[in-house]
Structure 1
């Protein structure tokens, strides 16, 4: 049995756990050891996964080193902090390559970053990686001179064949509600926006609120419970806890309409053929909306206090969304699904499919 060491974001976050699910299900005959993730529940539920710690003396037992995830390379904290993070990853890559092991980075976007040296150092590191794939053209353009760099839609789109839904959902509205953490200055305005939206949505719609992550540092569920105290309608709350992936997704997909905050709530809304509006807090969401021609159907943080824009948003939701939302179509989602599978083309060769 081939063995792979994996680094991923392992904090019981739905989007990142979907990466783990897709990777481990694709290669069922491979043993995956995940570096860290002591509290990750999805790893505990898989038969071909285990938790571990990176050990330079044990590199020889692995066939490959895989880094999988979305927003993996962001410049956060001071220069000393991110240089330490960069150096640790660089040493891992170098040691694997010195042992003639394959190194693969898949599914990420690069940034945001503030300083040119951040991009330069990661560009240098990427030169030692056998295969890299990003999920947006903007990240690709930063490193397009690297012949090992590729660009495909988000990895979750690769589950298209098993997840695309026909239009048979219940007459309900789902809302992905997000804890942005302490790195933004618009959390309070965002919560007031959600309260405003819920209180002004047509009363005949059942409203479901979804918490994609409820960890120590980021807790969507606590934000939902906080919002519940200020709304005048019943909201059914669904909390992802790392152990209920199948049930959480099944309930999410049954909504006809969706207001998305988290990036993967948008991806899932497309996979599930839902009519959606997006709250876009990050360029990765803007890029995806632009790719499907729906970048005008969104609110951004600067709109959170704009009563005119919010009124427009609510009006369109109450009109059961605009017909233009049909334009992204099953054909485009299927196309994304086929392209997304190419994230794994190199791993298919070295691990077998």
Structure 2
């Protein structure tokens, strides 16, 4: 069977783990991938991924200008047995209000691991709702998103795919604090500016260093500005010693570096999930409702720094208290439940 696999191909750790997870789960299926080869390092050696380079981007742009379905999407769809879209924030309302035709109107479509939003208008919600009527399966990762579409018979919910990722390193205690950071300038709805965010993270790093804690900064996605964010933070810490790890497609190596730490200050959504799976102390730094929705769903009661609300305590204050507490969070049941993200495709692909 040949499957057109849509995903976010920008060398983002979480999304690359999604793709690796599904490709290795179904080794007899050929997954067709349309992406820039620069961002496919994570999939080298995975024999059932067949990459199509971005040679036809100009045709896609021309199609979009004309309000037509993207050229390569149509091409791969017409030459594949079915389509799977694995990803998190796959239903974000475009800022300019533009809406393009959905693949769901063109054939079988299976959505795995998604959430809905952010969105601004009921028009967009209705558009996605009507588009998903023709999908074969839609598995959301949070109850808020599922609640918006629960009347659709093909809508389901299960914990995030990475709660069920099969290849985490062996858990160990670790030492020091890992900071996963983002460039907040592209995010909306924050009660803090990008410069204030960098200042706050820098202050927390200096505080950790004063307590003789080893500090490491992690870039999950250079394309989205994580590397740039690290540079701005480092310029604020006055020579404080930190380790820097930038994800380059080596999933296992990057996970091993995270595993070396005791605590993860997680601005990235999947830094939060990975931290829990590695049995680390996790301090989520919320920049989006998608994080809050999952935190609420799983019943996490630890400290949270919410950048979307005024008056919440700073990272330095939260960390001082948090690091001294025996914080544990059992994700065993979540890991088992996350397998349900694939229960429909299991029936389709496993004979």
Matched, 1:30 2:62: no
* Alpha-carbon shift at residue 105 of structure 1 (Å): 0.9
SS in 2 for 1:163: coil
Matched, 1:213 2:221: yes
User: Which 5+ residue runs of structure 1 have no aligned equivalent?
Assistant: 97-101
Equivalence map 1:189-208=2 (5 Å): 189-201=196-208, 202-208=210-216
Matched, 1:39 2:38: yes
* Alpha-carbon shift at residue 45 of structure 1 (Å): 4.5
Q: Give the whole-Å Cα distance in 2 for the aligned partners of 1:222 and 1:110.
A: 28
- Specify the alignment match of 1:284 in structure 2: 290
- Specify the alignment match of 1:6 in structure 2: 5
SS in 2 for 1:72: coil
Q: Do the aligned partners of residues 251 and 164 (structure 1) sit closer, same or farther apart at CA in structure 2, a change above 3 Å counting?
A: closer
Q: Do the aligned partners of residues 55 and 315 (structure 1) sit closer, same or farther apart at CA in structure 2, a change above 3 Å counting?
A: closer
* Alpha-carbon shift at residue 173 of structure 1 (Å): 1.1
Equivalence map 1:206-245=2 (5 Å): 206-215=214-223, 218-232=224-238, 233-241=240-248, 243-245=249-251
Q: Do the aligned partners of residues 169 and 142 (structure 1) sit closer, same or farther apart at CA in structure 2, a change above 3 Å counting?
A: same
Kept after mapping to 1: 8 A contact 2:32/2:51: yes
Q: Which has the higher helix share?
A: 1
- Specify the alignment match of 2:179 in structure 1: 175
Kept after mapping to 1: 8 A contact 2:104/2:132: no
- Specify the alignment match of 1:259 in structure 2: 265
User: Which 5+ residue runs of structure 2 have no aligned equivalent?
Assistant: 57-71
Deviations 1:23-48 (A, max 9, x none): 11111121111133443222444321
Q: Do the aligned partners of residues 122 and 55 (structure 1) sit closer, same or farther apart at CA in structure 2, a change above 3 Å counting?
A: closer
Query: RMSD value over aligned CA atoms?
Result: 2.1
SS in 2 for 1:209: strand
Q: Give the whole-Å Cα distance in 1 for the aligned partners of 2:128 and 2:5.
A: 19
Matched, 1:313 2:312: no
Match of 2:334 among 312, 326, 336: 336
Q: Give the whole-Å Cα distance in 2 for the aligned partners of 1:192 and 1:258.
A: 18
* Alpha-carbon shift at residue 188 of structure 1 (Å): 1.5
SS in 2 for 1:75: coil
Which of 30-39 and 171-180 deviates more?
30-39
Q: Give the whole-Å Cα distance in 1 for the aligned partners of 2:33 and 2:219.
A: 24
Q: Do the aligned partners of residues 8 and 302 (structure 1) sit closer, same or farther apart at CA in structure 2, a change above 3 Å counting?
A: closer
Q: Give the whole-Å Cα distance in 1 for the aligned partners of 2:194 and 2:130.
A: 35
TM-score by length of 2: 0.87
Kept after mapping to 2: 8 A contact 1:136/1:153: yes
Tell me the matched-pair count.
327
SS in 1 for 2:202: helix
Q: Give the whole-Å Cα distance in 1 for the aligned partners of 2:105 and 2:309.
A: 45
Q: Do the aligned partners of residues 264 and 258 (structure 1) sit closer, same or farther apart at CA in structure 2, a change above 3 Å counting?
A: same
Q: Give the whole-Å Cα distance in 2 for the aligned partners of 1:77 and 1:105.
A: 23
